[in-house]
Each structure stands twice: as structure tokens, then as C-alpha cells.
Amino acid sequence: MNPDEALRRIAFLLEWRGTSPYRVRAFHTAADAVRDLPPGPVEASQVVRLRGVGPVTAEVIAQASTGTVPEYLARLQAEAGPEAAAGWDLWARSRGDCHLHSDWSDGGSPIEDMADAARTLGHRWAVLTDHSPRLTIAHGLSRERLESQLEAVAAVNFEMGSGFRLLTGIECDILDDGALDQNEDLLARLDIVVASVHSKLRSEPQPMTARMLAAVRNPLVDVLGHCTGRIVTGRGRPQSRFDAEAVFAACAEAGTAVEINCRPERRDPPDDLLMLAASAGCRFAVDTDAHAPEQLHWQSTGYARAARIGLEADRLITTWPLERLLAGRSRRHA
């Protein structure tokens, strides 16, 4: 046991219990703050001065720094029981992440840093999914910039060697008519395409449904990103309205995975829609939507949500080996 692991496990168990995203995020933030803490015992009074560390997380850090299981973690584990342990094991089976951003669009870190962080976390693959052109506020990639990025990804993979592969991808805007915000010939060259709605989120249900159905049925689309567009922290943003039964049925039929977005401010889809998608027979991608290396750790809370409703690894494409992931995309394009 060490402080980083203890704090991440607590975040996982709080998510398991359906705790407020503010509390979940607090433990991830504290873990980020002590990630580079030297090994050995520390006092709570020392680490509470660090930005992002409060009295509760400081005590967890102090206890874990001695190699013992913190009292707070022990209590949560006892209350959660063996089912939560199975959920943690499910996260341990993660092989990759289908949704992360770099400083080529609205991320804050170079491609190399994001890839290195994913590999350090134990992933065998990760997908670079910077934004498409229409999202100018996020510095979306034009065709020319995306083609340049493909070369940059190839260079990163050459430098990293075997054991990990950064996949080419995009988070592609779903346009008003359901079309995709990038040339289809270029999308066909990518390893993974995540399609998301970023505009007119308060549309009436009928046009929003039609828009989403067109996208998830497109054989170029692999993952439906943050399907409701909601924000659950700060001032918040209500979830968009659409015929979820129809959209999830189309996802299941087309083989398009529904994203379990792990960003604390999103937790998208909400629990009722997550269960509806599971009942529809959908596959899922447990994705961080990371915009910085430390955010890749958020994936554990998505696996907590998946485990809580009984999803098994086979339905989570982020647990699949690289060969199976790419073979599934090839079959859908055939």
C-alpha cells in the first residue's frame, strides 16, 4: 500500500457507492498531488499544505505512507464487500482507453506525454482522439493537421517500441444532420473514431434522436461519446433529450460501443441510461476523456460503475487485446 494507491482505491469505492462526484474527485486530486512523493513515512501536517490535499486525504496519505491500509479505506472496503473487490479486479483487466486529448487540440500535454502516461499505467494501447474541425474553441484538427498528426503518432510509436501502441483516432463532432465532421476517406484511415454531440445540446428530442441514430449507424463510428452531454458539477448542464431506447438499440445492432465517460464532471451516461444501454445489449468503452496525463487514473471510477450493474469484461472493449479491438473495427467496415 502507498498513498497513491490508497487514494485511488478510495475514489473507486466512493464511485461504487454513488457518492457525490465532488468527493470522488477530491481523492483523485490528492493522489495527483502526492504522485511524486518520496517513499517513506510522512506526517499529515506535512502533506496538508500541498495544493489539493485536505485534512481527510492528508490522514489517508500519512497512514498509507507507512505501508498500512488507511482506516478510511479499510472501512469502505468492509462496507462494500466482495462485489466491490470484483469491480476493482475488473479495472485491473483494462488494456486501453479509447478517448484522450493532447495539446494538438484542447489537451494540455504533448502526444508523447499522454502515451507515456498510458503505458506507465499498464495500458497496452490508447487512442489519441483530438477534436474535429468544427470545434474551433477546442482547436479542432483540419484535414491537413490530422494528416500531420498521423505522422506524429507513427513517430511516437517508433520511439516507444513494442509492448504499447498509440492508436490513431479522433473525437468527431456529430453534425446537425448526423453526418461526421471530417472527410470520410480520412476517417477510414483511423484506428478508432469516437463520435460526440457538442452543439445544440438542448434540441428537441426528435431531431436529436435522428442525429444520433445516423451517427451510431455509420460504420466509420466505433464509440458514441458522452451521450447526454451533461455536466454534473459547478453550474452544471442538463442532459440532452433523445429516445435512448432507439439510440442504444441502434448501437447494439451496429456494434457501436457506448462510452462510459469517466470525467468527474460528466459521469455520462447517468445510471438509468447506463442500465438501459446494458439491457439493450450494448458494448461499452470505459474512457477517461483525459486532457492531461494524471487524468488517465479516472478510468477506475468508470469500471466501478460498470461493475456495479454487472457488466463483465467481454462487453467492455477497453479490456480487449489490441488485436481483437482492431479486428472488430475491420469487420464493421467490411
The residue ranges of every structural domain in the chain are 3-80, 91-333
Give the model confidence (pLDDT) of 155-187 as tens digits.
999 999 899 999 999 999 999 999 999 999 999
Query: What pLDDT shows up at residue 1?
Result: 86
pLDDT of residue 20: 86
- Give the mean pLDDT of 273-291: 98
pLDDT beyond 80 at 189: yes
- Is 169:192 a contact under the CB 8 Å cutoff? yes
CA 46 to CA 32: how far, in whole Å? 16
- The pLDDT assigned to 35 comes to 83
Average pLDDT on 268-280 reads 98
pLDDT at 330: 67
334 pLDDT band, cuts 50/70/90, is: low
Joined together, the cell numbers standing for residue 149 give: 498528426
Task: Band the pLDDT of 83: cuts 50, 70, 90.
Answer: confident
Q: What is the mean pLDDT of the chain?
A: 94
pLDDT at residue 47, as a whole number: 94
Residue 81 confidence (pLDDT): 82
| pLDDT digit string, tens, across residues 214-258 | 999 999 999 999 999 999 988 999 999 999 999 999 999 999 999
CATH T-level topology, domain 91-333: TIM Barrel (3.20.20)
How far apart are alpha carbons 238 and 241 in whole angstroms?
Answer: 9
Mean pLDDT of 36-57: 93
Given CATH 3.20.20.140, say whether it is the number of domain 3-80. Answer: no
**Residues ≥6 apart with Cβ < 8 Å to 230:** 236, 237, 238, 239, 240, 266, 268, 270
| Contact (CB, 8 A) for 259 and 248 | no
User: What integer pLDDT is reported at residue 82 of this predicted model?
Assistant: 82
**Residue carrying C-alpha cell 507513427:** 154
